[in-house]
Each structure stands twice: as C-alpha cells, then as structure tokens.
Amino acid sequence: MTSSNTTWVIKLGGALLNSPQSVQALFATLATMTDTRFVVVHGGGSLVDRWLHDAGFATAKHQGLRISPAEQMPYIVGALAGCANKQLMGAAIANGLEPAGLSLYEAGVNAQQKLKALGRVGECSQGARSAIPALLEVGKLPVVSSVGFDEQGQWFNVNADEAAAAIAKQLDGELIFMTDVEAVLDKSAQPLHQLSAEQIDELIAQGVISGGMEVKVKTSLLAAQHLRRGVYISSWQKPENLVALLNGEHVGTQITM
C-alpha cells in the first residue's frame, strides 16, 4: 500500500535521451503529479557509446555491463553525470520542476569495484548521508546519474538499473524502470504481465531475456525481494503508464518476489 509519503524512484533508460519529445512528455507528466515525491535515476548507455566511439575507443559489454577501463572514465563520467544529467535537468526546468542534479555519492550510495576484469565498473553499497530527503522536503526533484565514488574518492561507472535499485532500497521507495520496450517480452514477443524468480531464470537460460534486459530483470528481482513489493518495468514512450502505475493499475511487467 502506498501513502502520500511514498517516494517513487523512476529509472529512465538512456535511449530516452535520443527522443527530445519523449523527454518533454515525461517531465510534463511528472509535473502534473504535484503531490507525489519523485526521484529520477537515469542511464545514458547510448550516449556513452557515442562519446567513446567519437573519441576513438572500442567498447564492450559483459552480461549487460560496460567494461570500463580507467582511461575511458573521463568520457563515461562526462556523458552520464554531465551531458545526460544536464539534458534531463533542462527538460525538468522547462516543465516547471526544480531539479537537483546528483551523483550517487550525494544520494547516499557508495560504489566499489565489482570485478577486476570489468575495470572501473562499480557496485553499490551504503554510503554517506543522503541529501535526497532534504531536497524532497524543499520541493526539489532529485535527478541522479549512475556515477559513483568509493571512500577514497575514486569514481566508478555503475549500471543505472542497479543505481536506481540501491536508491529505492535506501529510501524504501517504490521502483519503476522506464525503458524502450513496453514490457518484458516472451519468446513470441508477447508482453509478460508478471515475472517470478523461476520464470526469470528460465527465460535467461533460453536466451529470451538478454543484454540490458537481463541486468534489469535480475536487479528488479533483488529489489522486489528486498523491498518486499513488486517492481515494474514499463516504457518511457508511454508516460501515461506512469500515472496508471501510481494509481495502482497494472501496466508493463511486474516483477514479483
């Protein structure tokens, strides 16, 4: 059951940034829900792809996570915490909202190296005090990139789905992933309205769920188990789905415990 104090963590997939109209429509929708506390966490994978390519780097992913050599980090951080974050802030401002652009550090989430072979890919842990409650209290809209820091101040590239889940966990909030597909699809490309742990294992093993969606469903399942509530995957192409979800309607895919 949600209350007016519930915080809704909305993760926006990076492909959204390629569609300025959809960005505007999404923030216009958020702006209509004045009584709801939102935290936006965003990706920017396609922007990172472009910046790395333009800088002459090759890039590769392992199970949906970008292998992030130290020398590529200035481009990755620039694309995510700089360009993507500020583009979304601009759309929020244009729709009458008051965004506050943050990295994971200010949001109270720390990062540390996930796996040596992945370079500077971070995984989340409990961090310093979060600025988010105070920002929400004064009516700001936190817009959080998935750039994280460890206690030595070293920067990390965190998958944005994992970043959103860590923030939802910290705020005990609701979690919605807005991506570029309306739902997780089955092997006949039909939307799955609900997904359990067993189905997720099976669909990944069959190769029906792969790439970025593999990270998303695995992260959603862990988050649902931790938060003890369902987590949703829906499309940013349909901002009205956000309104429906907040009203307790069932759209997209619900990942259950």
Ligand X SMILES: CC(=O)N[C@@H](CCC(=O)OP(=O)(O)O)C(=O)O
Ligand Y SMILES: Nc1ncnc2c1ncn2[C@@H]1O[C@H](COP(=O)(O)OP(=O)(O)O)[C@@H](O)[C@H]1O
**Do the beta carbons of residue 49 and residue 83 sit within 8 Å?**
no
Q: Which of 45, 119, 122, 148 is catalytic?
A: 45
Q: Does 81 bind ligand X (CB under 6 A)?
A: no
Work out what residue 210 binds among ligand X, ligand Y, none; the CB cut-off runs from 5 to 8 Å by kind: ligand Y
Give CA–CA dist 30/166, Å, rounded: 22
**Do the beta carbons of residue 35 and residue 248 sit within 8 Å?**
no
Q: Does 119 bind ligand X (CB under 6 A)?
A: no
Sheet holding 155-158, edge to edge: 109-113, 121-126, 155-158, 147-149
Q: Does 211 bind ligand Y (CB under 6 A)?
A: yes
Give CA–CA dist 108/94, Å, rounded: 27
**Residues 119, 125, 129, 130: is their CA dihedral positive or negative?**
positive
Work out what residue 66 binds among ligand X, ligand Y, none; the CB cut-off runs from 5 to 8 Å by kind: ligand X
The CB-of-253 to ligand Y minimum distance in angstroms stands at: 8
Stretch that binds ligand Y, among 7-15, 18-26, 117-125, 240-248 (CB under 6 A): 7-15
**How much is the CA Rg of the chain, to the nearest whole Å?**
17
> Which of these, 218, 176, 212, lies nearest to 45 by C-alpha position?
212
Letters for 157-176 (x = contact with ligand X by CB under 6 A, - = none) are x-xx----------------
Residue 208 or 244: the one with the smaller Cβ distance to ligand Y is 208
Q: Which of 114, 140, 169, 216 is catalytic?
A: 216
DSSP state letter for 255: E
Stretch that binds ligand X, among 18-26, 30-38, 40-48, 187-195 (CB under 6 A): 40-48
- Concerning whether 150 is annotated as a catalytic residue, the answer is no
The CB-of-145 to ligand Y minimum distance in angstroms stands at: 14
Give CA–CA dist 193/191, Å, rounded: 6
- Concerning whether 187 is annotated as a catalytic residue, the answer is no
Residue 181 or 257: the one with the smaller Cβ distance to ligand X is 181
Structural tokens at position 178:
């807005």
How many C-beta atoms lie closer than 10 Å to residue 67's C-beta?
Answer: 17
Give CA–CA dist 87/89, Å, rounded: 5
* Cα-based distances in Å from 128 to 105, 108, 256: 7, 5, 30
Residue 135 or 252: the one with the smaller Cβ distance to ligand Y is 252
Residue 22 or 29: the one with the smaller Cβ distance to ligand Y is 22
Structural tokens at position 226:
């931790």
Q: Does 88 bind ligand X (CB under 6 A)?
A: no
**Do the beta carbons of residue 160 and residue 221 sit within 8 Å?**
no
Q: Site for ligand Y (CB under 6 A): which residue of 83, 131, 185, 222?
A: 185
Residues that bind ligand Y (CB under 6 A): 13-15, 43, 45, 161, 179-181, 184-185, 208-213, 216
* Positions marked active-site: 11, 14, 45, 161, 216
Residues that bind ligand X (CB under 6 A): 13-14, 43-45, 48, 65-66, 76, 80, 121, 146, 157, 159-160, 212
